[in-house]
Amino acid sequence: MPTLRAPLVTLLVTALLGLGTASLPSEPHLTPAASYLPRLAVQGRAPTAAVLVQSSAAGPGSFRSTGPGIRYADRFRAGSITKTFVATVVLQLAHEGRLRLSDRVERYLPGLIRGHGNDGRRITLRALLSHTSGLYDYTDDGFARPLSALAAIRTATSHRPASRPGLFTYSNTDYAVLGLVVQRVTGHGYATEIRRRVIAPLHLTGTSLPGARTTLPAPHGRGYSRDPAGGGLTDATELDPRTAGAAGELISTLADLNRFYAALLGGRLLPPAQLAALLNTAAAQGDYGLGIYPERLACGVTVWGHNGRIAGSYVRTAASRDGGHIMTYRIDTDILSHADTLEPALLEAEFCPARTDHGP
């Protein structure tokens, strides 16, 4: 599994309110992932963890939370899961013939990617989608807090490329650029196109792109940023999402994310050719598709989805290839201790049928 999938932890945040309690009518069964959930709180040091699992074989979704901090209907910041929404729009535009994935950035944004070894004449839209552009990740600049895509791209191009084009190097800058490409092609901002093409058709009533709004829609709980050194928690419920933009500003719910990925993988949002392109990991040497990535579990099962990390929130969606079995979990902080072992174990608990060690 590639590293630094959603490195938007450095967002400038302010503090303030939110409230959460965990309640939902009793579910017909306790899923393996739900049985594993307490480990995220105990070993992962998450204030609260919650999971929603849906399967065509299991009927209604099963929601569980480790405590009162996360409710079923809570809105939360989904971070880099925004990228799958943006990629879906770009691929729909490709199907409509309004752009080609082989097009160079220069065609749509002439002169924007230049300087310090950066050159938009050599970077394709496919390279942006697959994180193989080599562009420096603007969130790695500890001094910059860009509040627009143009400012983010200027920050990135003030640095030399992070890698040579063609190598997989996760960069939020790629999707900042794609957001501007969508605007140039359609005449509308990427948020407008996501609402029209994805949110409205799928009736994702808990999903929004806040723009400059610093607060979360109700209902919502609190989000906390953990100090990596001292471990202390700071309220990060409010923040300026413009720093994340097309790379990570999305707000959503557990149920909406499950519905979105089920529809995407089930072929309801993209025709077969574009869905195949979405899942083609060749450009990124098997690490990443186009706004989505695979993870091969120890039992040999491969799940598809994305994660999102932003100040105060971490979320991960994983699904079977056809979207029929899908799980989204989240914690109300941006750092999960022992994530390299806890998250794969949680996925294996749910998706590996032979696994029996699900208990806390």
**317 found inside a domain:** yes
What is residue 11's predicted lDDT score, i.e. its pLDDT? 39
Q: Of the given ranges (15-24, 137-146, 180-189, 291-300), which has the lowest mean pLDDT?
A: 15-24
- N-to-C CA span, the chain: 24
Q: Check if 80 is active-site.
A: yes
For residues 112-137, give the mean pLDDT: 98
Report which residue type is found at 318: A
**318 found inside a domain:** yes
Q: Which of 26, 56, 62, 80 is catalytic?
A: 80
**4 found inside a domain:** no
For residues 150-178, give the mean pLDDT: 97
**1 found inside a domain:** no
How many Cα neighbours within 13 Å face the side chain of 56?
Answer: 9
Q: Of the given ranges (39-43, 99-103, 256-260), which has the lowest mean pLDDT?
A: 39-43
Beta-bridge partner residues of 13: 239
State the Cα–Cα distance between residues 334 and 15, nearest whole angstrom: 15
**3 found inside a domain:** no
What is residue 226's predicted lDDT score, i.e. its pLDDT? 86
What is residue 60's predicted lDDT score, i.e. its pLDDT? 63
For residues 335-342, give the mean pLDDT: 92
Query: What is the β-pairing status of strands 13-14 and 293-296?
Result: unpaired
Over residues 227-240, the pLDDT tens digits come to: 877 778 999 999 99
**356 found inside a domain:** no
**8 found inside a domain:** no
pLDDT at 171 exceeding the cut of 80 = yes
What is residue 227's predicted lDDT score, i.e. its pLDDT? 84
Query: What is the β-pairing status of strands 313-319 and 118-119?
Result: unpaired
pLDDT at 68 exceeding the cut of 80 = yes
- Token pair in block for residue 172: 């939020």
Q: Of the given ranges (56-60, 119-123, 207-211, 338-342), which has the lowest mean pLDDT?
A: 56-60
For residue 327, the surrounding DSSP H or E stretch is: strand 325-331
- Token pair in block for residue 114: 């230049």
For residues 334-349, give the mean pLDDT: 93
What is residue 353's predicted lDDT score, i.e. its pLDDT? 77
For residues 171-191, give the mean pLDDT: 98
pLDDT level of residue 24 (50, 70, 90 thresholds): very low
pLDDT at 332 exceeding the cut of 80 = yes
For 188, the domain range is: 13-351
pLDDT at 136 exceeding the cut of 50 = yes
- Token pair in block for residue 165: 């084009």
DSSP 290: S
Report which residue type is found at 215: T
**7 found inside a domain:** no
Counting the structural domains of the chain, the total is 1
Report which residue type is found at 323: G
Question: Under DSSP, is residue 257 helix (H, G, I), strand (E, B) or coil?
Answer: helix
What is residue 3's predicted lDDT score, i.e. its pLDDT? 47
Q: Of the given ranges (91-105, 138-152, 227-241), which has the lowest mean pLDDT?
A: 227-241
Q: Write the CATH number for 53.
A: 3.40.710.10
Beta-bridge partner residues of 64: 51
